[in-house]
Structure 1
C-alpha cells in the first residue's frame, strides 16, 4: 500500500472508498439492531407462503364447519337458551366467542411447536439469524410478531363468519374479540415457544401437549357449556386455562351480561401474565441455545 491506496486483486481501492464501505457496513449493522425483529418477522411470514393454502383453507374452513355443525346440529337439539349468569342467550351465540379463541390458540400451538424445533435442529435457521447482528431477543420477538400476523388473519376471518351467521352482538364492540383472541394465542403460545426452545430432541413431546394440555383445556374451559356446570374438582382446569379467561372476555364483548370489573381485570391479568412470562422464558432458552 502506498500513497493511501490498497491493492485489491488488480484493481486499486482508495482508502476513502474503504472508509465508505466500513461506514455502510456499520450502518447496516445498526439498522439490523434497530429493525432486526421485523426482519425475522418478515422471514417467518414469507416462510408461511410455503403452506399458504393450508392457512387460508384452515382459517376459512374451520369456522364454517364448526358454525354449521353447531347451528344445524347441537343448536337444533338444545332448544332452551343457555343461562349465562343472569343473561339467557342462544347456544351458537354462547359458543361463538369460545370458538374464535380456540382458533387463535390453535394457530399458536401449530406455529410455536415443530417450526421452532426446525429452527434449532432440522433447518437451523435460528443459528443463521444469530450469526448476523441480530440478538437472541430480537429473534424471539420477530418469531412472535410473525406468528401474530397469522393469528390476526385467522381471528379476523373467524369473526367475519360469526357476523354472517350472526352469532355475535353489536359489531361496534364485539370486533374487539379479535384483540382478545390475539392475547389468548400469545398466552398459550409463548410458554409453548419457551418449551419448544428448550427441547433438544423430538420424542413426541408436542403430541403429549396436544393430548394432555390442549385437549383438556378445550373440553373443560367452558367452551360448550358454562364452567359452573362442571363439578368443582374439574373447574380448576378452566381457572388456570388461558382459553377460559379469553372466552369469558369474549362473551362480555359479544353480548351484554353482568360481569364485575374485578373479574374482567383478573381475566386480563392472567392472560398478560401467561404471555409475558412465556416470552421472558423463551428469550432465556433462545439465548442459551444460540450461545452454544
Structure 2
C-alpha cells in the first residue's frame, strides 16, 4: 500500500467517524454523562434506595400510624395517610434528581471543567450536548423512580393496578422543573451562590407548599398559588390519580399534563438556545 492510499483510507475513516458523531452526538454525550455518574454511584444508590426506604418507613410506621389512629384508616382523600403521601414522595424524588443533575453539573460543563466546549469543538453540535444531558438525567430518574415505586408496592402504598404510571407523572414533573433550571444555570457565567439560592428559596418551599404532606386546600389561599405554579404539585396530583384513583375532574388532569409538557418544551428549547450562543461564540 502506497502512502497516498493510506492517507486516503485514514481520511475516509475520519470523515465516517465525524458523520457518526454528527448523527449520534446526543447519545455520545449521554454515554459520557452516565460514565461520570459512576463517580458518585453511592449518591445515586442512596437517592434511589436509601432515601425512599427511610421516608416510607418513617411515614408508614411513624407519622402515618399517628394520623390513621386519630382520623381512621381513610384519613386523607379516603385512603390511609401513607397511600396519600407516597405518590408525592415519588414525585419529589424526581425533583431531587433534577435539582442535582441540572445545576452544578451544568456549571461544571460550561465553566469549571468545560467539557461542553471540548465536545462542541468536535462534530457534536451544541443542541446535541443539551439533548444528551437531558437523556442521561431521564435514565437516572427512571432508575430512581422504578426503585422507589417498587418500595411503595412493598409497603402497600400503591393499591391501584395502574399505579406504575405515577413513574411517568413524576418523570414529567422532574423534567419540567429540571429543564427550566438547566436553562437558568446555563445563563450563569459564575456561581456566586445563585444555585444554593435555588435550593433554599425554590426547591425547599416547593416541597413544603405543593400539597406534598397535606392537601393543598388546607393551606391559606395566599399560599396555595405556590402549588398552582409548582411542577411538583402537578406531578403529585397526577401520580395520586394513578396510584390510588384520586378523584379529580378530567379537565384538571389534562391541565396537569399540559402544564408539565409546556415547561419541558420551554426549558429544553431555552437550554438549547443558550448552548448554541455560548458554545458557538
- State the Cα RMSD in Å: 1.3
Structure 1 ranges of 4+ moved more than 4 A: none
Maintained 8 Å contact 2:85/2:212: yes
Say if 2:91 and 2:232, in contact at 8 Å, map to a contact too.
yes
Q: CA deviation at 1:60?
A: 0.7
Q: In 1, Cα distance between the equivalents of 2:241 and 2:22?
A: 41
Unmatched runs of 5 consecutive residues or more in structure 1: 1-10
Of the candidates 169, 189, 194, which is equivalent to residue 180 of structure 1? 169
- Counterpart among 132, 156, 164 of residue 154 in structure 2: 164
Deviation, 1:23, is: 2.2
Measure, in 2, the Cα distance between the counterparts of 1:39 and 1:114. 21
Query: What SS does the corresponding residue of 2:214 show, helix, strand or coil?
Result: coil
Q: What pairs up with 1:88-99 in 2 under 5 angstroms?
A: 88-99=78-89
| Unaligned 5+ runs, structure 2 | none
- Structure 1 residue 12 displacement after superposition: 5.1
**Cα distance in 2 for residues equivalent to 1:123 and 1:157:** 31
1:246 maps to: 235
Give 1:56 shift.
0.7
Distance in 2 (alpha carbons) for counterparts of 1:160 and 1:258 = 24
Partner of 2:194: 205
Matching residue of 1:284: 273
Alignment of 1:1-292 (within 5 A): 13-14=3-4, 16-79=5-68, 80=71, 81-84=74-77, 88-170=78-160, 172-292=161-281
Q: Distance in 2 between matches of 1:134 and 1:215?
A: 36
Point out the structure with the larger strand share.
Answer: 1
Distance 1:284 1:134 in 2: 15
The offset of 1:121, in angstroms, is 1.1
TM-score by structure 1 length?
Answer: 0.92
Equivalent residue pairs, number = 277
> How big is each residue's C-alpha offset from its partner over 1:5-47, in whole Å with a ceiling of 9 and x where there is no partner?
xxxxxx9502x33333222222111111111000000000000
- TM-score normalised by length of structure 2: 0.95
CA distance in 1, matches of 2:231, 2:88: 11
2:173 and 2:83 map into 1 onto residues whose CA distance is 19
Aligned pair in 2 of structure 1 residues 202, 257: CA closer, same or farther (>3 Å)?
A: closer
Looking at secondary structure, tell me which structure has more helix per residue.
2
